[in-house]
A = this chain, B = another copy of it.
Amino acid sequence: MPEDTGSSSIEYDDIDKLHSEKIRLDTLFSRRAKGLQASEIRELLKLTQKPDIISFAGGLPNPITFPSEQLNEITSEVIKQNGKLAFQYGTTEGHVPLRQEIAQWMNKRFGTNLDEANILITSGSQQGLLIVAHLFINSNDTIITSNPTYLGGIGAFNAFRANIETVTLDNDGMHIENLEELLISLDRKKVKVKFIYVIPTFQNPTGVTLSEPRRKRLIDLAEAYDTMVVSDNPYSELRYKGEPHSPLIALDDGTHVTYLGTFSKTLVPGLRIAWMAGSVEFLKKAILCKQSLDLCTNPFNQYIVAEYMNRGLLDPHIKKICKIYKEKLEIMLNAMDEFFPNEVDWTRPEGGLFTWATCPEHINTRELFEQAIIEKVAYVTGSAFFPNGGGENTMRINFSHPTNEKIHEGVRRLGKVLENAIKKPKTQEVITGI
């Protein structure tokens, strides 16, 4: 958890000497604000945007999947038929037809029994994470995540200065026995766990999926320890092989799971339309919270997505994009088999946007990053996804965004970088000066 280091005061003191009339923001900022620190990731991501670099760094859907013509037609229709409402303020809960479409879609897809009262439209899933953090976390309250976990989740939880306890992952997702041990040990210490945050299917960053027995056990544990499960599910529809597991929200009694869904991966991210599903009792508070966050999610884009669903376009579109991504994932895994050194392990997900590589302990992927940039290939350093540090020998590798050709070539380049790093004896730091 970020701590006030006091170091910023020194900076401001210097500024202050130069311009004595300027405000000293450090005397005004909240503890929350002082805890907000720029992540190195953002700086690294800037390097990856040069056109000659093959980037596996982002988590972006491929724009070839964007159904622009359909959206153009629908948008024009929305403006003509409903412009006066779509361009007006909307309700905090969200556009009723969209909430109905989502509830029906989830019921059909997941076997839930939801209606629009169980759905709150959010401005991206990130807002859902923020609402959860806002509603549950007092400073130093304990929550549990997997280790590693989604960066944006860490950001939202740190924004309210959470104490994040972590549970390791394997190819079947979060180690449920370790979770149980952690819950027992926290319970003994009278530490209340506010919620357990999971991305059950094709997890970001690792691509792994929580197994069916672990899903059931997770819900049992949440019920036994009276805690919430925040189930962040942007990727489950992007399944390229294998059979889907039971969604956590379908295993629950309807009160322990808050579900976060989004159109960012299945349709387009740029509309920023997502949703929370949960109990009416929980959503009542979430609506009050959202009201202070942004009054309402933009109605214009809600009308567009509602009409897109109403025309029955979503499921066929998902089928179409799964074909595209399935091929990309195969190309990536084949290239990794071909080019990655034996000393490196990686996940073999059945869907989603990411694979995850683990290098030998002595490899630091942050140090390796500069070498990768020289070889014109980029990834995200894995340590960013570890809430309390660690994972310096890991990397997240995205396969959804580059072209098929670039995936193959990029993996070749990255393989070479890894090969060189593993073969090379660990460099000794040369201490110069005093």
Contacts and interface: CB of A to CB of B under 8 A. Distances in A.
A126 B292 contact: yes
A353 B338 CA distance: 67
A75 interface: yes
A33 interface: yes
A298 interface: yes
Interface in A1-52: 15, 19, 21-25, 27-33, 36-38
A251 B136 CA distance: 41
A19 to B, nearest CB: 8
A288 B130 CA distance: 13
Interface string A84-107: 111111100000000000000000
A164 interface: no
A284 to B, nearest CB: 8
A149 interface: no
A246 B61 CA distance: 46
A51 B160 CA distance: 43
A25 B272 contact: no
A244 interface: no
A64 to B, nearest CB: 8
A29 B289 CA distance: 12
Interface residues of A, number: 87
A80 B90 contact: no
B298 A272 contact: yes
B294 A33 contact: no
A24 B88 CA distance: 37
A296 interface: yes
A354 interface: no
A295 B152 contact: yes
Interface stretch (A197-205, A221-229, A326-334): A221-229
26 contacts: A23-B226, A23-B255, A25-B281, A25-B285, A27-B226, A28-B192, A28-B195, A28-B226, A29-B136, A30-B160, A58-B89, A60-B89, A68-B83, A71-B79, A85-B270, A89-B264, A123-B123, A123-B272, A126-B292, A126-B293, A130-B293, A159-B289, A271-B300, A272-B297, A272-B298, A294-B294
Interface of A: 15, 19, 21-25, 27-33, 36-38, 58, 60-61, 63, 66, 68, 71-72, 75-76, 79-80, 83-90, 123-124, 126-127, 130, 134-138, 141, 152, 155-156, 158-160, 192, 194-195, 223, 226-228, 253, 255-256, 264, 268-272, 281-282, 284-285, 288-289, 291-301
Given A75-B75, A124-B295, 10 more contacts: A21-B255, A25-B281, A27-B226, A28-B228, A30-B138, A63-B88, A71-B79, A124-B296, A130-B293, A272-B294
